Structure 1
Amino acid sequence: MPPTARADNPRMTIRALTLDLDDTLWPLLPTLLRAERAMHDWLAEHAPATARMHGIDAMRELRAEVGRRHPGLAHDLSQLRRVSLLEALRAAGDDPALAEPAFDAFFDARQQVVFYDEVADALDRLASRHRLLAVSNGNADLAATGLSRWFAGSVSARQAGVAKPDPRIFHQACAALDCAPDAVMHVGDDHAADIVGARAAGLHSAWLRREPERVGRIEIDPCAPSGHHWVIGDLTVLADRLLAD
């Protein structure tokens, strides 16, 4: 087979997929709102002074302030939230030891995700032909979210020590898959973090844009470098393209 035929055939060049999670497999905002409410309700019961001093909006502001003071926590959102909780509890005169169970209340609720409609079926199809690895700046857990039946593993920003779009997190993912970057496609919704980062690391890319007019559509990204770089409206069209006979 001529080299050009191999280069034009994604089934022959792409051995594995890395996927973003938040806003790619489920909507993030309602998930976070539920988790923040669960944490606030826990604080209201167990640390009422903290709950009165730091409502949900005030806790968000504190977390942003802590992030500005501790830029080294940018890749570890769980630790950033723990540090914010510690500061809130101390400021209110509550027991700092309550930070960990308060975080657990947030974390448990944060795993209660609702997949986009096509996700489960598309992952069934994709996992039948490709190894899947999650690459996320967030703190979703594969087992708790129900993703472990499809995914071989995950590389988080906390584990990698850097966040997307740093190419190093993508290179760690490729190493975990035992694949060269040009044998992996990354799928994600955030152009700066997912697509720019993946391309800089040498991966193929699929930019997921869930606008209604794009559902069921797949396009070649005209601004992308050589390789397979697509703009997709949902995961079904990605599975259709990669699994086409």
Structure 2
Amino acid sequence: MATTRSRTTAGAPQTTASMSRRILDEAARLFYEDGFPATSVRKITAACGVTAGSLYNHYESKEEVLYAILKRAYEDSEGMLEEGLLRGGDRADRQLAELVRELTLFHTERRVEGLVARTEWRHLPAEQAKEILDAQRRIRRIFERTLERGLAAGLFRLSDPRASRPAQVDVVAKAILDMCINAGQWFRPEGAVSARDLADQYSFLALQLVGAGPPDA
């Protein structure tokens, strides 16, 4: 994956890194509230309390800001999924439970980034948009491989006696992904269900969907 063209360097002061994060956080909020086309550089700088020149010291364009937001979101979510796989050990049912838990937590605890990542990538230049789509495919493939391992081990069952043929792995993976990702559209931190409680419930539902019970302790 190509790296963002941010002009910050590894040896830059912490204040520079903090400002870069602030720009991304405020821009993500504005892209979520108003959409990418309606959000100007002036709006972003006003929200951050900086000049346009200061923003351009970090990112060369509004498109680069969007790319950096999406790149950060997908790198972080992929990292969380990899950690979930490790916690799941060598059993696909435990792995699936952890994957669902991690992805649900990402899209509830960082819901603005998640929603922007899902909808605004279309405004990126073609090469960067392809990178984001590739990241989406990698995440889907993590779930598909886990389902395939569970089927091979006899832990999952995707067949329905009422259907003419078993459900396809890619269809089931997309259904589980949609459940986790769409949580960001309605979840509110001040609501009756916490992010972690919802993640646990979704893990249980995902296992039910593939015909598995709660994994053994």
Q: TM-score normalised to the size of structure 1?
A: 0.33
Q: Per residue, is there more strand in 1 or in 2? A: 1
| Greater helix share, structure number | 2
Compute the TM-score of the two structures, normalised by the length of structure 2.
0.36
